[in-house]
Amino acid sequence: METDETNLPLPPTRCRDTEFRWGERTYVMGILNISPDSFSGDGLGDDMAAIVSRAKRLADEGADIIDIGGESTRPGAQPISADEELRRIIPAIERLAVEISVPISVDTYKSEVASRAIKAGANMVNDVWGLKRNPKLAEVAAGAGVPVILVSNQRDNPGRYDIMIEVISSLKKSIGLAESAGVAGQNIIIDPGIGFGKSAEQNLAIIRRLAELKALGKPILVGSSRKLGPKGDRKLEATAATVAIAIARGADMVRVHDVKEMVTVARMSDAIIRKGLSEF
């Protein structure tokens, strides 16, 4: 009888002092935006006291890792130079590396920014272009031995056909770039890229069909926070729905703004799907 490789347990991913043991529970990545023009309006700019306070609160609320970004990825945002990105994030990473116990991820697609961020204390790289804007970033991650998140981004080439086929094809190319540069297999995490060049219908289809990504044999991160659903003040409820359904479809990690609320959603979802969690 042939073994269904999509159901085999994934090897754990080491990040700082944390070991992500995929399949045991859903991990929560808290978002810390330092860019002044964040799409969700939560950018902290240069306010170091606010940055440290927010990071500590996210950790206290249950974040397993904190993702720091210095360049907005909202649609239409203007790119910034590597020097400006470094000016924004390096002091924050250096400070948080000693102030908080959870690992730090840096949200960047620039190899020089990733390299400096890792030296400053970052433990993971989150590349919203899946190594396609700057393949050298893979060499940086491989050399440092840190995990890398590969995002399927359709902004340069909007999906016109079956969105999941296009997302899977995109992620396969990104995985190939990472592996060719020497990134260890257990250090590759994939993200279908909710909101990155997809229509509302395509975003919903990705969540509905998320289990198809299991064929790639990598942990799956979903970043749907505040991106889908009605306009106005109902984004929290909409995000909760997308997080719960993504977990049911196979998400291993969720990237969220509202950590306290989404930790509860994740734990309840895990209690139903993975069973046996004592707190529920």
- Tell me what pLDDT residue 161 has: 83
- Tell me what pLDDT residue 160 has: 74
Residue type, 204: L
- Tell me what pLDDT residue 276 has: 54
The catalytic residues are: 227, 255
pTM: 0.92
Q: How far apart are CA 169 and CA 144, in angstroms?
A: 27
- Tell me what pLDDT residue 3 has: 39
Report the first-to-last Cα separation within the chain, whole angstroms.
37
Q: Tell me how far CA of residue 112 lies from CA of 52, 117, 119, 152, 158, in angstroms.
A: 24, 9, 11, 21, 28
From 241, 244, 245, 240, select the one nearest 257 (Cα to Cα): 240
Q: How far apart are CA 238 and CA 193, in angstroms?
A: 17
- Tell me what pLDDT residue 78 has: 82
Residues 6+ apart with CB under 8 A from 232: none
Residues 6+ apart with CB under 8 A from 199: none
CB-count exposure of residue 251 (10 Å: 0-12, 13-18, 19+): buried
- Residue 262 contacts residue 235 (beta carbons within 8 Å): no
Mean pLDDT per 10-residue interval, the chain, length 280 residues: 60 96 97 73 71 96 97 82 95 96 97 98 98 97 98 85 94 98 98 95 97 98 93 86 98 97 97 72
From 161, 158, 225, 160, select the one nearest 191 (Cα to Cα): 225
Radius of gyration, alpha carbons of the chain:
17
The domains found in the chain, sorted by start residue, are 24-273 (3.20.20.20)
Q: State both tokens at 213.
A: 């990504």
